[in-house]
Amino acid sequence: MSMPEDRYVRVGEAKTRYWAEGADGSSVILIHGIGGYVEHWLPSFGSLAEQHHVYALDMLGHGRTDKPPDASYEIADLARFVRDFMEALGIERAAVVGHSLGGAIATRLALTYPSAVSKLVLVASAGFGKEVCMELRLCTTPVVGEALTRPSRSASAQNLKMCVHDQTLVTDESIEFDFEMASLPGAQRSFLKTLRACGGLLSGQSKNMCGPNLDGIGSMDVPVMVVWGRQDKVIPVEHAEVAATGIQNVRVEIFDQCGHTPMLEHPEAFNEVLLEFLAD
């Protein structure tokens, strides 16, 4: 599996890392979740590039994108960041695939800039209910969050294992890489700012994030696919039904023996349903 070339573009004031491959076909944009980076899409990237012009970006404050200390990480501002990324690269319209927090961002993008989104794929998406794992809720608490998210190999191992059903998928190599990304200057601060903008200890996922998404998704007129792992321990699989409620043109795929990261745990099956949906 070859590694795509790192590219950079200025999005607002932020130097933003992204991958781009595939000369023909419609455009597809991949948005990772909180604490994530473009490498989470590696098992899907090459397959998508064979049929589409595919892009994956490190979101503001994540991966190797800049992490300005004064940036806003509210969901509306993150959706605007993706729209600005599209404008910077001259992408007028794209199918948007979002995982976890990336799903909430993708939904808000489609609601706020409907002409920019042709199809929407929500993978274990945030933004459809307050329920979320206690580990993330605890991290929203001052002082406690700073202690729990201090970069270490053991913390990276624990976080990666929380996201998968099959624990053997977490390798020494994946732990080392996640630790490297978590240790980048400003990464911990940006992670906590993003998390605290999205929820709290008692509230779980915030009304500011969920409310507009829940109110608006049923009125969207673009095709939507919702993908979830039945054994998701981060965001419950029941949110798949919530996300699909009221949508006229929706497809729901639930993967068994799968946690929070279907694209990493069942890449072949995930790629199959994704490519089929994009081609339909």
Tokens of 188: 């911990």
Q: Which pLDDT score, from 0 to 100, does residue 86 have?
A: 98
Q: Which pLDDT score, from 0 to 100, does residue 245 have?
A: 87
Q: For tokens 């329920």, what's the residue?
A: 131
Q: Which pLDDT score, from 0 to 100, does residue 1 have?
A: 56
Between CA 129 and CA 87 the distance in angstroms is 31
Q: What is the dihedral of CA 96, 176, 60, 215, to 10 degrees?
A: 50
Q: Which pLDDT score, from 0 to 100, does residue 2 have?
A: 78
Between vectors from CA 155 to CA 188 and to CA 4, what angle results, nearest 5°?
Answer: 70
Neighbouring residues of 132: CB distance < 8 A, sequence distance ≥ 6: 126, 199, 204, 205, 234, 235
Q: Which pLDDT score, from 0 to 100, does residue 126 have?
A: 98
Q: Which pLDDT score, from 0 to 100, does residue 163 have?
A: 98
Q: Whole-prediction pTM value? A: 0.97
Q: Which of 102, 108, 144, 139 is nearest to 124 (CA)?
A: 102
Between CA 164 and CA 55 the distance in angstroms is 25
Tokens of 57: 């970006």
Q: Which pLDDT score, from 0 to 100, does residue 239 have?
A: 97
Task: pLDDT tens for the chain, 280 residues: list them.
Answer: 579 999 999 999 999 999 999 978 899 999 999 999 999 999 999 999 999 999 999 999 999 999 999 999 999 999 999 999 999 999 999 999 999 999 999 999 999 999 999 999 999 999 999 999 999 999 999 999 999 999 999 999 999 999 999 999 999 999 999 999 999 999 999 999 999 999 999 999 999 999 999 999 988 989 999 999 999 999 999 999 999 988 888 999 999 999 999 999 999 999 999 999 999 8
Q: Residues 7-132+204-279: name the CATH superfamily.
A: Alpha/Beta hydrolase fold, catalytic domain (3.40.50.1820)
Q: Which pLDDT score, from 0 to 100, does residue 7 have?
A: 98
